[in-house]
Amino acid sequence: MASSTPFPASGSRSKKPLGKMAGWLRQVLSKKPKEMPVPQETTPSDAPPRSSDDPPSPGLSTAASAESPATPPPAQEGASGSSSSSGGGAASSSGRWSRDYDVCVCHSEEDLAAAQELVAYLEDSPASLRCFLQLRDSAPGGAIVSELCRALDGSHCRVLLITPGFLRDPWCRYQMLQALSHAPGSEGRTIPLLAAGLARTAYPAELRFMYFVDGRGPDQGFRQVKEAILRYLQNLS
């Protein structure tokens, strides 16, 4: 015999679960979303103090070096000052080295000892003047006249050691005329040194247009000769 228990309709079974799901969706949609915190930018004033032991930030050091150019090191004093101050001295004048000698000493053979004394005085001075002494510096085997002309051409100044022996020697007169012809009108290049005991009336007529150094005195006029040579060398360009 068939059971008479009624079965519920299919529509009444599905209504209850759907109602629960709809209520859950309404609760989810009604809730507001949580706001995410926005990170704040840190300004240099808000940044925590740095310790002196902390290593520098590479970003900040790079930016600082890019904005401010490197300061050049200070120029060293003395390089330009020394060159300018030494340029005025005779020992460092560029024109001085254009010739082989600073002075050529013309003398008679009998006055060799006096000439050697003058040369030693000039060469031992602080300026270390370069002197040409004929019997010492002439090339062996060279012609006497050629060696004299070479010495006069290669010297800035020339000293005429005028003594009684100089006035008697025809070779010394030739030296004097060659010295004048190599530097006509050049002030300071030819320096006559009149020996002590020689009267001024004996002064050669060819030299009357220029002053001479008086050899009387304790230094025999050597100091004045040196100063005249240095003055000429200082005026070289």
What's residue 93's pLDDT? 60
Amino acid identity, position 152: L
What's residue 9's pLDDT? 47
What's residue 76's pLDDT? 43
Q: Are 189 and 236 in contact (CB under 8 A)?
A: no
CA 29 distance to own-chain centroid = 87
What's residue 83's pLDDT? 36
Q: Give Rg (Cα) of the chain.
A: 53
140 CB-side CA count, 13 A: 0
Q: Which of 157, 160, 159, 138 has its CA nearest to residue 147?
A: 138
What's residue 188's pLDDT? 86
What's residue 207's pLDDT? 92
What's residue 237's pLDDT? 62
Residues of the chain with pLDDT under 70: 1-93, 184-186, 237
76 CB-side CA count, 13 A: 4
Q: Which of 208, 171, 164 has its CA nearest to residue 190?
A: 208
**CA pair distance 66, 64, nearest whole angstrom:** 5
Nearest-10 crossing angle of helices 222-234, 112-123: 50
What's residue 21's pLDDT? 62
Q: Which of 142, 209, 144, 132 has its CA nearest to residue 172?
A: 144
What's residue 158's pLDDT? 95
Q: What angle do CA 102, 104, 120 make, to 5 degrees?
A: 80
**CA pair distance 142, 120, nearest whole angstrom:** 24
What's residue 236's pLDDT? 86
3-state helix, strand, coil in the chain (%, to 5): 50, 10, 40
Q: Are 199 and 192 in contact (CB under 8 A)?
A: no
What's residue 65's pLDDT? 43
